[in-house]
Chains A and B, each alone.
Chain A
């Protein structure tokens, strides 16, 4: 009897763990999407609709995506050749042939040609990350945007709502979920309320909310630290051109209390642009607080009142900005935090765009309005470029923070550990 009961429970447990098809997963995010251009939407959303030619795995190795094989013999990285996988279907069910793909991949500054089953892309500028950075965007019969990813666009209300439906003939297998509804521009408090009420199953989470959600029995998914929080001076502002002020502010910031209290130890303090897990050398960029030196630098001159802008749509940044202003005041700097308008410097959160250090550094520099010169694409070259970028304190890296999501109990998934994004295509809804 006891054995039967045990077997029954084991079976029930197994049954409960097995993926189930169906259901609509509602995701709420503070991000907003106004266009179905994959370049303008968060990568975690773009990855549901479109697929790149190749992907990096968790170890940073290049793996096949739409392309199964490729070769880049051009040392200038202007020419890339690859062969498409078989069985690629678009969201409308049509097969994606090399010719169709070539047409879709042709863009200003880039020409794709087909020779047999080999697609060659000739770029005007060097494109070393073409395979991982290019998503295949197709046009349907009616001109609608479609991809080859696990979900297709069913409904789109720019800036408000995106409804994705499962791609039935997805080459990687139909997703478990029938639909993924993504609600954009949702305030953090509204997301929490909807999670509590069951209206949403996946929401963004602030570091201060992690413990509370865990205490409520909700699963919290965190990625590796992949968002850089940094201060970036505006180079056209007179105050920014004062090197002593920049150094004083960099030395005045006390990262540890902010990491422990405001970020609730979610993430890591850093002095580097790229995270330690990506480059392995981030620890070399030390970030000690030197208040006496900061005071010395400010005490020897007339210090103007600085204005720091923190993005009002990112609730994580304002408390950090207020604390940085307080640290600056300890060093004799007067900093006023604003949400908009002219500012001498900005507090930004920049997502890691790639697991390729060179590509990530270039994208980070672009986001921080800084120039970067990569002499080589090697890790050493990246390190040197990063050091040059940080030399004059125009950019002050502060933290690397993860993506944090709160998941309703019924949400199950097989997202691999250390994944940079939570994979909705690998998720299902368990009946409650």
Chain B
């Protein structure tokens, strides 16, 4: 993840989270305030509804009182109070009384709580409702909720009980209204307020019917027994509140969404603004790494980033200056080294030349009779040393004027085989320490774009170095394999190996570990590898030989740059 992406995420999260939290807080607070207000209104409604319900209860009681006080019922009570009275003629009485007084339920019971007449379940005559005989003052007991049995079902009823006394044989009246939708719809309620009757037993939990409301208010009702709990639930699914809540929710969501978008935009702008100078710095660093020591970064601010840009520019300026100084120093050092090497190389053959000429002079003067023989030996020595001088000059000349490579597609396998064939006779010469060659090519068809002459010279130099490192014979390993977009060629030996210091200086021109040699061989190898856009490295440790690794790009672009992936 880039720095800009992290910055973008950080800004976006910070701004968005803030916006979302603020939106949520505002909408929650507002919603809570409106809900409190609505709850207050609902409570008022509930109180009003409760008063209305109680009035209906009193109405039921009043109607039953009217029945109890009516003449027909007093007559029935008097009649049934006689010994041996027949209740059969009154089996239809409750039906007509209930209809007359607009009651849904009416039972007339005798002194033993046996039903004499039932308006809602006429067939139940003779069955008993013994609970009516409980020691309760029904006169003062108000209406209560109970379940009433019907021929095919049960119904919830608001009932009251009255006693009609006649002598020692009271009649009991149980009457009431059905608690159903019609009953509740007859009680005026504001729009959006619903009412549900909740019946349940304490051990069975709620017996709620209907969908969960937005707001609810519970009004407990008196029931006949503790086993039956009754309550009215006022549900305030008021459309205004729901709409308002929805509106606030949408406002909050819109605010959060806008905050999110704004956060993203701000984060994008801020991260872009912050990372632009950093990118410039990174680009400048890449240019420097690519060799453009004159790369500079534009300073656009006076803050830490500006300070960093100025420091970078200063650094690159210093680096360029130091590079120039280093180049000069290295150039001087190289000239000195060259002069030293040249002096060293030339001194070797010059001294024998001088001795030989002095011997010739001496022989002519002191031993004229040996002059011809001395002349012959001396001229041979002179010619050999002159050849050595010429070789030295040629090497220096070669190194100085290495030609520009001319690239072509070279198949690695036969190329290395050709190198090996050059040296094979020498390795197998009977008077030479045996050198065994091991060639390992990963892919016989592997190719590399290279100058075959220059690359061949470089490989021959490495092989020569390996042979020089094994004066007593040994093993040379030539290996080539594909590594990504590069071809790697390794030349290894089993010689004495190199110390780390030697490895570090190995590619310095004129540096050599051999007693004789210009020290240009590896420099030539390095120059060839560099011209091919590759790299050369050495791995070695004392006593374990050395392995030189050439890493060359497989293909080159049209502009001559190597192609890597």
Contact = CB atoms under 8 A, between A and B. Distances in A.
A257 B126 contact: yes
A257 B125 contact: yes
A319 B87 CA distance: 17
A322 interface: yes
B91 A208 contact: yes
Nearest to A327: B123
Interface string B144-164: 000000011000000000000
Given A336-B152, A337-B151, A326 B123 contact: yes
Interface residues of A, number: 15
Contacts of B88: 260-261, 264-265
A261 B90 CA distance: 8
Interface string B346-360: 000000000000000
Contacts of B86: 260
Nearest to A257: B126
Contact of B124 (A260, A264, A326): A326
Contacts of A260: 86, 88
A262 interface: yes
Given A336-B152, A337-B151, A325 B123 contact: yes
Interface string A138-167: 000000000000000000000000000000
B122 interface: yes
Interface residues of B, number: 15
A265 B87 CA distance: 12
Interface in B72-111: 86-89, 91-92
Most chain B beta-carbon neighbours within 10 Å: one of A261, A262, A336: A261
B441 to A, nearest CB: 91
A262 B91 contact: yes
B449 to A, nearest CB: 95
Q: Is the interface of A mostly helix, strand, loop or mixed?
A: helix
Interface string A279-322: 00000000000000000000000000000000000000001001
Interface string A242-275: 0000000000000001001110110000000000
A211 interface: yes
A326 B151 CA distance: 8
A319 B122 contact: yes
Given A208-B91, A208-B92, A211-B89, A261 B125 contact: yes
A20 interface: no
Contacts of A325: 123, 151
A265 B92 CA distance: 15
B127 interface: yes
Interface string A322-352: 1101100000000011000000000000000
B125 A264 contact: no
A319 B95 CA distance: 13
Contacts of A261: 87-88, 91, 125-126
Contacts of A264: 88-89
Contacts of B151: 322, 325, 337
Contacts of B92: 208
Interface string A209-226: 001000000000000000
B152 A319 contact: no
Nearest to A212: B89
A360 B449 CA distance: 127
A260 B86 CA distance: 9
B123 A322 contact: yes
Contacts of B123: 319, 322-323, 325-326
Nearest to B87: A261
A326 B89 contact: no
B345 to A, nearest CB: 122
Contacts of A265: 88
Interface in B146-204: 151-152
A336 B151 CA distance: 8
Contact of A326 (B87, B91, B127): B127
B76 to A, nearest CB: 14
A322 B126 contact: no
Nearest to B123: A322
Contacts of B91: 208, 261-262
B33 to A, nearest CB: 55
A261 B88 CA distance: 4
A290 to B, nearest CB: 18
A318 to B, nearest CB: 9
Nearest to B151: A322
Contacts of A319: 122-123
A18 to B, nearest CB: 36
Nearest to A209: B92
A221 B123 CA distance: 27
A325 B123 CA distance: 9
Nearest to B127: A326
Interface string B123-146: 111110000000000000000000
A206 to B, nearest CB: 10
Contacts of B152: 336-337
A325 B87 CA distance: 22
A264 B91 CA distance: 9
A81 B121 CA distance: 58
A280 B210 CA distance: 63
Interface in A38-94: none
Most chain A beta-carbon neighbours within 10 Å: one of B87, B126, B127, B152: B126
A374 to B, nearest CB: 37
Contacts of B121: 322
Nearest to A215: B89
A272 B125 CA distance: 26
B348 to A, nearest CB: 126
B96 to A, nearest CB: 11
A307 to B, nearest CB: 11
A275 to B, nearest CB: 22
Contacts of A262: 91
A377 B89 CA distance: 42
B27 to A, nearest CB: 55
Contacts of A326: 123-124, 127
B114 to A, nearest CB: 10
A243 to B, nearest CB: 27
Nearest to A265: B88
A262 B124 CA distance: 11
A62 B152 CA distance: 50
B385 to A, nearest CB: 131
A84 B160 CA distance: 73
A261 B123 CA distance: 10
A260 B125 CA distance: 11
Nearest to A336: B152
Contacts of B124: 326
Contacts of B127: 326
Nearest to B122: A319
Nearest to B92: A208
A319 B119 CA distance: 12
Interface string B468-484: 00000000000000000
A265 B86 CA distance: 11
B77 to A, nearest CB: 18
A208 B122 CA distance: 13
23 contacts: A208-B91, A208-B92, A211-B89, A257-B125, A257-B126, A260-B86, A260-B88, A261-B88, A261-B91, A261-B126, A262-B91, A265-B88, A319-B122, A322-B123, A322-B151, A323-B123, A325-B123, A325-B151, A326-B123, A326-B127, A336-B152, A337-B151, A337-B152
Interface of B: 86-89, 91-92, 121-127, 151-152
Given A264-B89, A322-B123, A336-B152, 12 more contacts: A208-B92, A257-B126, A261-B87, A261-B91, A262-B91, A264-B88, A319-B122, A319-B123, A322-B121, A325-B123, A325-B151, A337-B151
Closest 8 pairs between A and B when the two form their complex, measured CB to CB: A322-B123, A323-B123, A261-B88, A261-B91, A260-B88, A326-B123, A257-B126, A261-B125
